[in-house]
Amino acid sequence: MTTQEVRPRADEAPQAKKWRFPSAFTVLFIVTVAVWLVAFVVPTGAYRVDPETGRPIAGSYARVDVDLSLTDRLYQLFLAPVNGLFGVESAETGFIGPYESGELFGAVGVFFFVLAIGIFITMSMTTGALDAAIAAVTYRMGGRGAAVIVILMVIFSIGGTTEGMAEETLGFYALVVPLMLSLGYDRLVAAATILVGAGIGTLASTVNPFATGVASGAADISIGDGIGLRVLMYVVLTTVAVLYVLRYAARIKREPSKSLTGFREEDAEIAAAGVEKPAGVTVRQRLVLWVVALTFGLMIFAIVPWAQIINGPDAASYPWQLDWYFPELAALFIAMSIVVGLVGGLGERKLTDTISSGAGDFIAAGLIIVLARGVTVIMNNSEITDTILNALEGVVEGTSSALFGALMFIVNIPLAFLVPSSSGHATLAMPILAPLADFAGVSRAIVVTAYQSASGLVNLITPTSAVVMGGLVLAKVGYEKYLRFILPLLGILFVLVIGFVAVGAAV
């Protein structure tokens, strides 16, 4: 069946087009052009750089003259996406371009890491292991409502904190909605179990490659930096979120009339039918789950700076400490994707097709990173990055470490609305915000934690998110009803995150 254009009849008034918030690609294109134009009028300048750390020295900013013709500037704008992917900083001129020899600046390492983790996630989902495991758990715990909510929310939160589980959750509504109805809950409980479960994990990301990983790369630190604070945040915030959903669920079970969504006519029939008995988890799928768990376990072991955590930031690494970065991690996930495919019995054709489709599914996230890095290239080549840093240095100068941590979280909230892509947000903001931590005497990991917390908080409610709006449509829950439910929790999370980043910055 072919799709044909549908034209309105002469007697029908054309419907007004609904305004939609621009996509991350459009926002970044607008930002790129705006930054390019601003570079014509912003004074140029630079900091002196510490030769040992390669980071700017506070108070050393000075004006510099940069002779860039209009042709040069147009050339920089034209090449911004290319330089964002694979730019190198020339040792002679200091400018970033694709052809000069010098220090690699582009986002190529992060780009291929995102594709590699995308292949791994897609391969794991293709085996059906995760779907089968969650179906088996929900069926086995079907008679214990509170336990089901806790287990499912923890599972989804682990997916969020480790691999940024988002779109993958949409496939579980067909299972969780009838399950929750059969347990005497409403559709909002089902939606919250999935949305809040995965969302709180993403908010408190520990090693999430699309938030923690990309932001750490843009901030020029290891993914493992600050992991202790992030693990503590994950435990506390997940507990709070689970208790919040349990409290609402218990109230609905006790008094159905208290439901924010009410019950639809078909809900009683769905509840009576219950959940079909799943086929169970096969031996191959169990092995896949073990491979997935071991892969993420190895990643965590490889990125954590063990000696520095135990003996102090200046300690030498242990001989067994891997200190892996994006190239090694990308290689790990590509290799383990093949292992997952073989263990899952996908066969040669299905395995190779899944590698291609997995990379294709995540190419958009990679391109967002490239475009955002292109903005940074324009700022650096125009010598305005340090000018902006100098202005912000004056703002943070004299503030306490705790106040600085809180400010980083608050500043990133509107940025999360402006750039809904967590990867794009990180790549765009970190080159500016991370060096401010040096001036404030705070670890750059605090800025990363503040950014991802703000992004995760906003992504719990943003109406431009396919995960939020698509999930609510599948659960048949109105957005306004979901807002009434989630806003008090957002207030609690806001206060808790402020406390965590403030204390983490001060310690």
Give the tens place of pLDDT for each residue, 441-462: 899 999 999 999 999 999 999 8
The dihedral built from the CA positions of residue 123, 126, 130 and 133, taken in this order, carries a sign that is negative
DSSP conformation class of 257: G
Distance in angstroms (rounded) separating the CA atoms of residues 218 and 96:
16
Q: How far is CA 396 from CA 34, 46, 402, 455, 505, in A?
A: 25, 18, 11, 22, 13
What is the pLDDT at residue 18? Answer: 66
Is the pLDDT assigned to residue 176 strictly greater than 70?
yes
Q: Which residues of 276-308 are buried (b: 16+ CB within 10 A; e: fewer)?
A: eebeebeebbebbbebbeebbeebbebbbbbbb
Three-state DSSP class for residue 325: coil
Contact by Cβ (8 Å): 483, 261: no
Distance in angstroms (rounded) separating the CA atoms of residues 137 and 172:
13
Question: How confident is residue 211, by pLDDT bands cut at 50, 70 and 90?
Answer: very high
Tokens 């929900």 correspond to what residue?
A: 138
**Residues 361-420: tens digit of each pLDDT:** 889 888 998 899 899 889 988 999 999 988 888 878 778 999 999 999 999 999 898 887
Q: Which residues of 368-388 are buried (b: 16+ CB within 10 A; e: fewer)?
A: bbbbbbbbbbbbbbbbbbbbe
Distance in angstroms (rounded) separating the CA atoms of residues 499 and 447:
14
What is the pLDDT at residue 98? Answer: 65
**Residues 263-311: tens digit of each pLDDT:** 988 888 877 766 677 778 899 999 999 999 999 999 989 988 888 878 8
Q: What are the sequence ranges of the domains in the chain?
A: 109-368
Token pair of 335, please? 């290799």
Three-state DSSP class for residue 107: coil
Contact by Cβ (8 Å): 81, 33: no
Three-state DSSP class for residue 135: helix
Instruction: Work out the end-to-end distance of the chain between its first and last CA atoms, rounded to an integer number of angstroms.
Output: 64
Per-residue H/E/C for 442-501: CCHHHHHHHHHHHHHHHCCCCCCCHHHHHHHHHHCCCHHHHHHHHHHHHHHHHHHHHHHH
| Beta strands per DSSP E along 148-299 | none
- Going by C-alpha positions, the residue among 115, 118, 197, 109 that lies closest to residue 161 is 197
- Going by C-alpha positions, the residue among 393, 382, 471, 500 that lies closest to residue 437 is 393
- Backbone angle region of 220, left / alpha / beta, with phi > 0 → left and psi within -120 to 50 → alpha: left
What is the pLDDT at residue 3? Answer: 40
Is the pLDDT assigned to residue 102 strictly greater than 60?
no
Q: What is the mean pLDDT of residues 228-241?
A: 97
- Going by C-alpha positions, the residue among 480, 476, 457 that lies closest to residue 190 is 476
Q: What is the mean pLDDT of residues 108-114?
A: 88
Question: How confident is residue 330, by pLDDT bands cut at 50, 70 and 90?
Answer: very high
Which H or E run includes 88? strand 88-90
Which H or E run includes 45? strand 45-46
Question: How confident is residue 149, by pLDDT bands cut at 50, 70 and 90?
Answer: very high
What is the pLDDT at residue 145? Answer: 81
Distance in angstroms (rounded) separating the CA atoms of residues 64 and 49:
15
Mean pLDDT taken over the chain: 87
Q: Which residues pair with 104 in a beta bridge?
A: 88
Distance in angstroms (rounded) separating the CA atoms of residues 486 and 492:
10
Alpha helices per DSSP H over 98-172: 108-126, 129-140, 145-163
The dihedral built from the CA positions of residue 422, 232, 218 and 354, taken in this order, carries a sign that is negative
Distance in angstroms (rounded) separating the CA atoms of residues 463 and 173:
19
DSSP conformation class of 167: G
Report CA dihedral (207, 212, 217, 220) to the nearest 10 degrees. Answer: -100
Report CA dihedral (434, 440, 444, 448) to the nearest 10 degrees. Answer: -70
Residue, of 104 and 270, whose pLDDT is higher:
270
